[in-house]
Structure 1
Amino acid sequence: MKKGSFQWMKSLNRTIILNKIRRDGPISRAQIAKETKLTPPTVSSLVSELIEKELVVESEQGESIGGRKPTLLIINSDRFYLIGLDVGAKKIRAILIDLSGNKIDKTQTLISTRISKEDLLILIKRTISDLTNAHDTKEVIGIGVGMHGAIDVETGTSLFAPGLNLRDIPIKKVLEMEYDVPVIVDNDVRAMAFGEYWFTDEKKDENIVTVNIGNGVGAGIVLNGKIFHGKSDLAGEIGHMTIDLNGRTCSCGNVGCWQTLISGPAIADAAKRRIELKSKSMLIDMVDGDLQKIEGKTVYEAAIAGDALSKEILEKTGECIGIGLTNLIHIINPAKIIIGGGVASASPIILPRIKETIAQRGLTQQAKSTPIFCSNLGSYGTSLGASALVLGEIFEGDISVVD
């Protein structure tokens, strides 16, 4: 794996120009100067450097407005590459992309049970090697990591990975020492949310929320085009907001958390309870009478096959999701909400009920009509989002114009 110079790109004015070309290219030098307020000599000098470094190329000539036709500029997308990692409880997914987000390759590695943090770091490095060995001519400039659980974003440390029962994993430190490129580590749902913002939000709505509903429930919040972390990186733990004061006990120890009503295990538990109370369902035959084999996915498959009980449970789940999302809309008022995770696979049944509930409970007409979508980034959505964390630093870092 060849390594590129990330820091060289990060000077203020280079970042401004790179982002302008990325967003609006093909674009001329004169137009860049006009729209960024940088002086023409500054733009000309920095564009020359960017061309020399092969980050930018001249693509074609624009229309003349009374003189020589201007030469237009675009990002040289396939010059540098990024790696995105999704470190879950059972597997590591990795993706290699170019600067335009085009997927070059992907791979995944299974994580064994009872793994140590030292062995996990070795496995992460092996996954990166598996991905890059076939592309050893690619010049990689950064690695993004979406890690499940609690993260210290500043140090890139996994404070607690509940699915692996591991604490204090120095991901950023170890990977930067190994590969000598910048590494950005964040929570997996926040990485997924930034991927939604970066790769699928064509209008670049700056305030969006992605809610991941699977074995647990979490959210990634993008405000003003930046991931919102909160005071101590706790923002987004919406699965643990209380919805039912008399509800079931959550894994966190509290009672009536949203997660106890809408997660995959919650859907499966609801089906088991109803069957134990003598409700009829084809689920019984689907699991050969062993109710412990019922999963959220099983309930969805039964509902699609016409099982009335399963459909009823999923519709109730959609209503509960809608209640929680209505609360979220009233607090954050996002431009749109994206739903990801395994439960989103049941969108044909749950999405209409979600929208119906929000339409009933929203405070204003605008709140009632908040756009709700299911993610289409696929199983590598978090990996792609992790790579977007690096793209965001390159193209949209916290900058001000200095001329």
Structure 2
Amino acid sequence: MTTRNGRTVRDLRRENRTAVLHRLYFDGPMSRFSLGPATGLSSGSVSNVVGELVAEGLVEEAGSVDSAGGRPRTLLRITPGSGFMIGVDVGETRVRVELFDLTLTELARTELPLAVDSPHSSDRYEVGLVVGLVRDGIAEVLRTAGVPAERLLGVGVGVPGIVARTVEDGAVVHGQTIGWDAVPLERLLREAVELPVSVPYRIDNGAKTLGQAEMWFGAGRGARSAVVVLFGSGVGACVVTDPMGPGRALEWGHLTVRVRGRRCRCGSRGCLEAYAGAEALLERWREAGGAAPAGADEETALTAMLAAAYPADAGRTPDATALAVLEETAEYLGAGFGDLINLFQPERILVGGWAGLQLGARFLETVKGYTKEYALAYPAARVGIAMGTLGPDAVTVGAAILPLADFFARGGRRAEAEAPEEEPAWAPTVRGRGAKSD
């Protein structure tokens, strides 16, 4: 049956289930009585939906609460073990794989290092190597937690670069900075990883998955709009205009901040990433005479640079070279933040990523000062700039949210579980008239 606005009865049922699941997920445990005003559904609709969800094992009772003058009200919550998701972060130096239950409690994790012999990040991302690490990581976390692959709601993967989709290959990654040119990652993973065909893959930009995590569970909660920026070897961002919806990945790191400037690893010149990404930042320090620990990876080297510029010992003289490079970086970041404010006028700008967490802890206040100089005064006065709160693993959490969000959008039903709905009585008649006219 189709309603006047074009939605079918199935659509309405799915929307009602989604509304109840969302409220229980983010605000639960809740009683049936509380779910009515929270979702805008009638008591009868709430009762029907809750009955279905309890029968399916998605929702369970979680104690009771006293009511005003009546019987205690039973509380309801999402059943943690009713579904599982895997989140994958194809990161700067490693592939991180985590298995979560439906309430995002971590059940198992593994970190598999990428080759780091080359100073250039593009050499670390050989496609076959990355696919093999993801395959091994998924098998390991499922084995460690004893979770059958058939119980997965999906696998979410955060990657560097632009993600497009085709009918033939699914998600295709265009990662210019890592040497990936139209890599059919979803097809390659399906061929390599032993998972049922019913388990969906959701592959997206790593900054976008970070943004999703911070908006759902971190520093973005309560904001109507935000830009979440990710600093690692490179620089990325995600703009969010719907707190519960997916954000939009931005290639912010390739915004030109200096005409005919430094060569960026994307091949262009003067990109923000060529000055503010960890790889470029350490290169600029070395060019200025700084010395990172021999054989150190990027994370260790950046820690050493920050320690040299901002020594913990008050009696120790700061390294003038490291301090000068970081001060220049703060200004470039301030200009980049100013562009984000002028373009999107967000309520918040949040800083994440392993390098962002290190850098922000040291000079975020300095960056804020430069931001005011480069942004228009009115929107700059209305934006809050802060650190993300989910730590360096937020990309993995956000990746796991991708299949979870799809599951909720389907009303808590797996994609293959939906049977075709009977068509309205008029449909075959109308088709028959069309056939006669041919």
- TM-score relative to the length of structure 2: 0.76
Task: Find out whether 1:326 has 2:338 as its counterpart.
Answer: yes
- Tell me if structure 2 keeps the 8 A contact 1:217–1:263: yes
Match of 2:208 in 1: 190
- Tell me if structure 2 keeps the 8 A contact 1:145–1:184: yes
CA RMSD across the alignment: 3.2
The verdict on how the C-alpha distance between 1:372 and 1:36 changes in structure 2, with shifts beyond 3 A counting, is same
Task: Find out whether 1:218 has 2:211 as its counterpart.
Answer: no
Q: Which has the larger radius of gyration?
A: 2
Match of 2:259 in 1: 245
Distance in 2 (alpha carbons) for counterparts of 1:287 and 1:136 = 41
TM-superposed deviation, 1:366: 5.2
3-state SS of the aligned residue for 1:21? helix
Correspondent of 1:256 among 270, 274, 286:
270
Distance in 2 (alpha carbons) for counterparts of 1:267 and 1:60 = 53
Match of 2:138 in 1: 128
- Tell me if structure 1 keeps the 8 A contact 2:177–2:265: no
The verdict on how the C-alpha distance between 1:59 and 1:312 changes in structure 2, with shifts beyond 3 A counting, is same
3-state SS of the aligned residue for 1:254? coil
- Tell me if structure 1 keeps the 8 A contact 2:256–2:269: yes
- Tell me if structure 1 keeps the 8 A contact 2:135–2:189: no
Task: Find out whether 1:87 has 2:90 as its counterpart.
Answer: yes
Distance in 2 (alpha carbons) for counterparts of 1:91 and 1:316 = 29
Which is worse superposed, 57-66 or 386-395?
A: 57-66
- Tell me if structure 1 keeps the 8 A contact 2:219–2:388: no
Correspondent of 1:72 among 56, 75, 91:
75
Task: Find out whether 1:169 has 2:166 as its counterpart.
Answer: no
TM-superposed deviation, 1:153: 5.0
Match of 2:308 in 1: 302
3-state SS of the aligned residue for 1:227? coil
Task: Find out whether 1:207 has 2:217 as its counterpart.
Answer: no
Distance in 1 (alpha carbons) for counterparts of 2:23 and 2:54 = 15
TM-superposed deviation, 1:144: 0.8
Correspondent of 2:385 among 352, 372, 386:
372
The verdict on how the C-alpha distance between 1:260 and 1:170 changes in structure 2, with shifts beyond 3 A counting, is closer
Distance in 1 (alpha carbons) for counterparts of 2:164 and 2:35 = 37
The verdict on how the C-alpha distance between 1:25 and 1:265 changes in structure 2, with shifts beyond 3 A counting, is closer
Distance in 2 (alpha carbons) for counterparts of 1:252 and 1:173 = 24
Distance in 1 (alpha carbons) for counterparts of 2:181 and 2:309 = 37
Distance in 2 (alpha carbons) for counterparts of 1:188 and 1:162 = 14
Match of 2:418 in 1: none
Distance in 2 (alpha carbons) for counterparts of 1:390 and 1:81 = 10
Match of 1:227 in 2: 246
The verdict on how the C-alpha distance between 1:359 and 1:368 changes in structure 2, with shifts beyond 3 A counting, is farther
Distance in 1 (alpha carbons) for counterparts of 2:84 and 2:135 = 17
Percent same amino acid at aligned positions?
27
TM-superposed deviation, 1:119: 5.5
After superposition, give the CA deviation of every residue in 1:305-325 in whole Å (9 maximum; x if it has no partner): 321221122122112101110
- Tell me if structure 1 keeps the 8 A contact 2:215–2:221: no
3-state SS of the aligned residue for 2:373? helix
TM-superposed deviation, 1:298: 3.8
Of structures 1 and 2, the one scoring higher in RCO (CA 8 A, sep 6+) is 1
Amino acid at match of 1:262: A
Task: Find out whether 1:156 has 2:171 as its counterpart.
Answer: yes
- Tell me if structure 2 keeps the 8 A contact 1:220–1:227: no
Distance in 2 (alpha carbons) for counterparts of 1:287 and 1:135 = 38
3-state SS of the aligned residue for 2:77? strand
Distance in 2 (alpha carbons) for counterparts of 1:336 and 1:202 = 7
Amino acid at match of 1:302: A
After superposition, give the CA deviation of every residue in 1:18-68 in whole Å (9 maximum; x if it has no partner): 112222322222332344333323321221121122211122333334543
Task: Find out whether 1:363 has 2:363 as its counterpart.
Answer: no
Match of 1:346 in 2: 359
- Tell me if structure 2 keeps the 8 A contact 1:159–1:168: yes
Amino acid at match of 1:213: F
After superposition, give the CA deviation of every residue in 1:196-225 in whole Å (9 maximum; x if it has no partner): 112214733131211112222111222212
- Tell me if structure 2 keeps the 8 A contact 1:259–1:266: yes
Distance in 1 (alpha carbons) for counterparts of 2:235 and 2:101 = 31
- Tell me if structure 2 keeps the 8 A contact 1:152–1:158: yes
Amino acid at match of 1:50: L
Distance in 2 (alpha carbons) for counterparts of 1:134 and 1:257 = 43
- Tell me if structure 1 keeps the 8 A contact 2:211–2:247: no
Distance in 2 (alpha carbons) for counterparts of 1:21 and 1:398 = 13
Distance in 2 (alpha carbons) for counterparts of 1:83 and 1:26 = 25
Match of 1:383 in 2: 396
Count of residues in Structure 1 that have an aligned counterpart in Structure 2: 376
TM-superposed deviation, 1:100: 2.2
Amino acid at match of 1:351: L
Which is worse superposed, 105-114 or 50-59?
A: 105-114
Distance in 2 (alpha carbons) for counterparts of 1:105 and 1:38 = 38
